[in-house]
Structure 1
Amino acid sequence: MKKNITRMFMILLIITSLIGCSSNNSNSSTNATTDKGVEADGEIVKIKYVVPGTEQKDYAEVFQKVNEKLAADSVGVEVEKVYIPSDAWDQKLNLMLSTGEEFDLFHIMQDRTPFSSYYNRGALADISDAIEKYGENLKKHIPDDIFDGAKIDDKYYAVPSYWVEMASEGEFNIRRDILRQNNLEEPTTPDELISAWETVMENWEGANKPYFGTSADFDPVSLHTTILHRTYDSFPFTVRDKFFYVNQNGEVKSWIETEEFKKDAEFMRKLYTKGLTNPDILVMKKEQVSAQLDNGDWFVNLGTGGSLKSLKKNNPDATVDDIGVVWFNPDKEYLRPLTFKNGNAVPTNSKHPEEAVKFMDWMLASQENYDLVQYGIEGKHYNKDGDKGIQAINDPDNNDSPGYKGSESQNGNVNFMRFDLENSIPENNQVLFEANPDAVNSVAANFAFDPTDVRTEYTNIISEASASITPIYMGVQEYDKAFPAALDKMKKAGLDKVVAEYQRQFEEYQAKD
């Protein structure tokens, strides 16, 4: 009996061995990586994509479809989005980068924290080779002059999102229906805007006052107080990296020490003292600001955020023509302060930089791919409306909004974008999503400041400006009374040293051109 058992066991081992050899032999000829970098045995690399915002109700269902399409297209990549609330974005992202947490792709907002800031911290991977190998569609659908803005020392450290014409900086939205209701003309100067706003505020019958919708900051690009700059004799100029005034002659100055900063602050002071900004402006969260705009309780929006759907919530008779675009001094030059506004980058701690690039390239490989990522599942989240139109399908269990909507500011592209032909604002579409042939780039649009040699001072002035300069710039404190002490604190924090280093680097940058 024991001999029989032993014999049977030996036979089983031989059979198992033969099966294993057969399996290994069959795989050995197909285990090599294909031209697309996909393992033929079906191995898929999972990447984590970190973005600001709140997870959509149907995110899991949509990205299951995204990953199925990625697999069907043999990309060899699976994507998981990781959402971070907007008000915690900077703090949480910086912590993830500093602690070496593993993720593979993250969103960049150039007007908030430019990619050069992450580069200077050593947080960005060089993705030049990956773009060369796997970025065919990225290079096809993102113009060279915009893509070049993501380079440092001729190497790519980000992928721009070509979703907006940056020369739109300097315009604002206004409610023309409210102008008509109050027998007002469209304002052509900042003082006319304030006067009209006072009248609107006095006559407003809604539950929520149409305050200036913004959270507090000291950066005019972030706040879009750049609308004022077209009214100054010194325009065109831009403010880079929050602290540096740069005009088209290449002159660099400390922004907060300019007359232009003072004029901005005085305008904001008028808004505040006349009750046109929320009395709690210094502690307003972005979610509160978004809620105000989404409810249609606004008169002026610096930037473009109006839509007919939100306007109709409290104004059922509203039409798309009730929101208009205004430029002060529209005959002046149109300036792009940055070549691109948003983008995505790969952190140095990513183990899958090539897969991150493959995913971004795949999104622009077809309209079908783009639609799935940006608009969700056709027939459930949207229906097409002609070649470039879209009709959202609202979900009653999701606040009567689609259960899924991607973010084109995060990874959109004008070559694939669809528009809600019924609810989107025609003037906004033209300004934002059509190239302005008369626009020019700022001479500093592609300049990347490296604060390594003044890192301590740069960190200190950012912290000090948030505490001392923001209340002045937002108009809560009077410039003449508060600015001298605030400037003294900024000088002690190292402002002069940082500005001098910026000037030195910018002069070297211009000399290379």
Structure 2
Amino acid sequence: MFRMKSKSTALALALILLLSALAACSKNGEKNENSPNVSSPSASPSASPSESASASSEPSESAKTPPKEVTLEFYMPSGTANVNDLQAVLDQFYADTKDTLNTKLKFNFTTFDNIGQQVSLKLAGGEQVDSAFVAQWTAPNINQMIAKNQLANLDSYFNNDQYPGLKKAFTPEYLKNNSFIDANGESHIYGIPFTHGFDGGGVIYYRKDLAEKYGIAEIKSVEDLTKYYDGIVANEKGMIPLTWNGSQDMLSDTLLTMVQPITKKHNYETSVAGTNSSIAIKPDGTLYVAKTINPWSDPDYVALLPDELKSVDPLEGFKMTRDWYKKGYLEKDILAQKDPDGQFMSGKAASVVRTLDIYPSEKQQLETAIPGAKLGYFIINPGYLTGTAKAVGSDFKAWNFAAIPSNSKNIDRTMQFFDWLFSDLKNHDLFEFGIEGKHWTADGNSKYSIPAGVDAASNYNFPGFTLTWNPTMVRYDAATPDEVVTTLNNLGDTNFFFKKLSAGFNFVTDNVKNETAKLNDVKSLLRSIGDGVTDDIDGTLAKVQKEFDKAGYAKVRGELEKQFNEFLKTNPYEGQ
């Protein structure tokens, strides 16, 4: 044991100890990375991983003390007004984290079409909002909120050792493709992206029990599908063969996807998000923007496409949709339909277009709602249907985000909750599936089942796409068919897709705001032929094109070409 030999030695040692203590205090100013009191990484950008590790090796007393309790206000959409048994899950969370996060959560749910407006009103009124669900499809959308500086820049919370859960669940490439351009033209992370895969995998869900009734064991082709619809028309009076959200989308795009050939070359992209335009790469590597609203009607655009597509009938999607409408496959008032899933679940429709990533919940809902019903599915895209790698394109973007308002007083605490959520599968599963043993039972790390005797209709049903979905943490219902699991795994595999030309590109509309708004209104005029309610396809296209040009499409084309060619300088077409 060390012994002091003299007063001078004691004084020297005391000085050394004092200096060491001061150094330790300085380093302990960077709070323990494992403590819920961890400071915002943006507050101490110079802290290196080695320094953080040193500081956390011997936690101070303050690091062991829970922070002051805080209640975070989350706003999100949900298909139901309330989540079943949510309080039990929250109580479990509080018990698990009272000595660490010490955070209370209040989830405020509203409808899908109201979430954007509700958040806007809360922010305008200065009310507390700590996490807001935003997306490209909310109104206002995420880009508009970023332009108004309403959302916090979250860059510093990711790829950061102080937030290991976020670092593990969100790779730099995933984040890059889910960043957004701000008013200064810079790309930053403004929302936590939620997705199970990099595409939903479009499918037509149908009543397999009815298909079997008409001698169709399983629908595997468009021919099988039309045979099924013929059976519904002939035998199920009053039932709609295919229900569709005609108030928002065009069925012609979906039907065209079904019949188009798979190509090996992907130097083109139709309907680039936010632009009302279709693009193709010219032989010199620069961009061509289609002159027509229907790109297949522009001969210069078609000339740039892969050979397999050059003979495509430019009106094929519209013609096919009109044929289905006349055969009675679609409801007469399709343009007014806003709730196709409700039609299907109530037994009023024999099929509905949704995505494969919701197969377990869709199956559960249908078979609970209609005794004896069985769910079948037909995969729309030939690339998914055949399992062909690099046949389907993706921008690797999520369509659901949790953003934090820039004026929130609890940005660090909110991000600490998300870090906890993704730091362990057990934490994640608590909010996605509920209490293990009560609401669900684990089957390894990739599947789950509902315990015997639990009523699925009243079981925990949190909308995971608003909080927990992540490609690294996916469980499937144990009853999910193996072929569905295979396709779902493909949806979350970056190697299965080719990268879309627009991946990582965000169109800044500042210079064409008025024109872009007008074009959105004009494009809605296409629904009459896009949903098959009129025979006059050529006349409607000519009329809409005239209105498109009048609304300023040439200016939008020029702006898109300018911005995209600049984008191509650092993100060139790579022959995908």
TM-score tier (shorter): 0.7 to 0.9
Which of these residues, 420, 426, 432, is aligned with residue 477 of structure 2? 420
Partner of 2:321: 268
Query: Does the Cα contact within 8 Å between 2:434 and 2:440 map onto a contact in 1?
Result: yes
Query: Does the Cα contact within 8 Å between 1:394 and 1:403 map onto a contact in 2?
Result: no
Partner of 2:69: 44
Measure how far apart 1:300 and its partner are.
5.5
Alignment of 1:206-355 (within 5 A): 208-218=239-249, 227-228=257-258, 230-231=260-261, 237-242=269-274, 243-247=276-280, 250-253=287-290, 256-259=293-296, 262-286=315-339, 288-293=340-345, 297-299=349-351, 301-304=353-356, 305-306=358-359, 307-313=362-368, 322-325=376-379, 327-328=381-382, 330=386, 333-355=391-413
Measure how far apart 1:369 and its partner are.
1.0
Question: Helix, strand or coil: the match of 1:50?
Answer: strand
Which of these residues, 173, 194, 201, is aligned with residue 161 of structure 1? 194
Which of these residues, 482, 485, 503, is aligned with residue 543 of structure 2? 485
Query: Does the Cα contact within 8 Å between 1:269 and 1:474 map onto a contact in 2?
Result: yes
Which of these residues, 212, 219, 232, is aligned with residue 201 of structure 1? 232
Partner of 1:404: 460
Partner of 2:150: 123
Question: Helix, strand or coil: the match of 1:150?
Answer: coil
Measure how far apart 1:405 and its partner are.
1.6
CA spacing shift, 1:118–1:455, aligned 2, 3 Å: same
Amino acid at match of 1:217: Q
Question: Helix, strand or coil: the match of 2:293?
Answer: helix
Measure how far apart 1:81 and its partner are.
1.3
Question: Helix, strand or coil: the match of 1:81?
Answer: strand
- Tell me which moved more, 439-448 or 291-300: 291-300
Query: Does the Cα contact within 8 Å between 1:50 and 1:107 map onto a contact in 2?
Result: yes
Query: Does the Cα contact within 8 Å between 2:281 and 2:288 map onto a contact in 1?
Result: yes
Partner of 1:26: none
Question: Helix, strand or coil: the match of 2:495?
Answer: coil
Amino acid at match of 2:73: K
- 1-side partners of 2:239 and 2:346: how far apart? 12
Amino acid at match of 1:140: K
Partner of 1:105: 131
- 2-side partners of 1:256 and 1:170: how far apart? 23
Measure how far apart 1:169 and its partner are.
4.2
Question: Helix, strand or coil: the match of 1:301?
Answer: strand
Question: Helix, strand or coil: the match of 1:256?
Answer: coil
Could you give the per-residue CA deviations for residues 16-73 of structure 1, whole angstroms, max 9, x where no partner exists? xxxxxxxxxxxxxxx989433528464133222211113213223323433443434x
Which of these residues, 53, 74, 86, is aligned with residue 59 of structure 1? 86
Query: Does the Cα contact within 8 Å between 1:170 and 1:227 map onto a contact in 2?
Result: no
Count of residue pairs brought into register by the alignment:
472
Please tell me the root mean square deviation across aligned C-alpha atoms, in Å: 3.8
Which of these residues, 423, 443, 454, is aligned with residue 385 of structure 1? 443
Measure how far apart 1:127 and its partner are.
0.8
Query: Does the Cα contact within 8 Å between 2:345 and 2:370 map onto a contact in 1?
Result: no
Measure how far apart 1:444 and its partner are.
0.5
CA spacing shift, 1:37–1:378, aligned 2, 3 Å: closer
CA spacing shift, 1:175–1:244, aligned 2, 3 Å: farther
Question: Helix, strand or coil: the match of 1:138?
Answer: helix
Measure how far apart 1:414 and its partner are.
3.6
Partner of 1:88: 114
Amino acid at match of 2:174: I
Amino acid at match of 1:474: D
Question: Helix, strand or coil: the match of 1:49?
Answer: strand
Question: Helix, strand or coil: the match of 2:88?
Answer: helix
Query: Does the Cα contact within 8 Å between 1:161 and 1:341 map onto a contact in 2?
Result: yes
- 1-side partners of 2:522 and 2:404: how far apart? 30
Structure 1 residue ranges without an equivalent (≥5): 1-30
Amino acid at match of 2:540: A
Query: Does the Cα contact within 8 Å between 1:212 and 1:300 map onto a contact in 2?
Result: yes
CA spacing shift, 1:487–1:373, aligned 2, 3 Å: same
Query: Does the Cα contact within 8 Å between 1:381 and 1:394 map onto a contact in 2?
Result: no
| TM-score, length of structure 2 as denominator length | 0.70
**Are 1:144 and 2:149 matched, yes or no?**
no
Partner of 2:300: none
Question: Helix, strand or coil: the match of 1:364?
Answer: helix
Partner of 2:24: none
% of aligned pairs identical?
A: 19
Query: Does the Cα contact within 8 Å between 1:388 and 1:419 map onto a contact in 2?
Result: yes
Measure how far apart 1:450 and its partner are.
1.1
Query: Does the Cα contact within 8 Å between 2:123 and 2:129 map onto a contact in 1?
Result: no
Measure how far apart 1:309 and its partner are.
3.1
Query: Does the Cα contact within 8 Å between 1:228 and 1:264 map onto a contact in 2?
Result: no
Which of these residues, 528, 548, 554, is aligned with residue 471 of structure 1? 528
